Chains A and B, each alone.
Chain A
């Protein structure tokens, strides 16, 4: 396992369309996180899962956003009725048990452009 994988790397969509991103965490990691990063800013927390349970959601995650992790392995992040303000880099990260718990491993991200 070489790390956290995200697919696609880039997505261009028209305003109003739905998009879905996928994240495959490191296989032995039970925690999975989604962050959003816009130009000139640090990553902003969106949500996190422990196994298949979604334990925390940010206020940034409007009702157009939904995330799932059905079997406690990969996760999907869906954005419905995309808006131009959704354009950003969407980052996934995972962490496991023990001392490394708080040290995330990040994926390379999915860059979303809404036109």
Chain B
């Protein structure tokens, strides 16, 4: 079955630390890849997406993600986190360009000021 794995369920960082959140998916065909963010008390928002082309994609608020096809990975990175990045982050996959998204279980990030 298609699945998305997010390795870290909880991450705690101090401000200015670098962030990398892991995401692996199990699907051998064509995929579209996404990262969504949910700030406390808010709805899910799209952070960035990969369809094709340059495997390094840049999103909002200084986030970026790298698609490594050979590793079935799409890790999220940010060089220097801020307290306002405290949120839950979800990786999602769109297999075979279907409109259905398969989400990982999420990573809760807490950034300490």
Q: Give me the interface of A with B, judged by CB distance under 8 Å.
A: 3-4, 31, 33, 35, 40-45, 48, 50, 55-56, 91, 93, 95, 99, 101-109
Contacts and interface: CB of A to CB of B under 8 A. Distances in A.
Contacts of A4: 43
Given A40-B105, A42-B90, A42-B92, A106 B44 contact: yes
Interface size classification for chain B: 20 to 34
Contacts of A102: 32, 34, 49, 51, 94, 97, 99
Interface string B82-98: 00000000101010011
Interface of B: 4, 9, 32, 34, 36, 42-46, 49, 51, 90, 92, 94, 97-106
Given A33-B99, A91-B44, A95-B99, 11 more contacts: A4-B43, A40-B9, A41-B105, A42-B103, A42-B105, A43-B90, A48-B100, A99-B51, A101-B99, A102-B94, A103-B49
Contacts of B46: 103-105
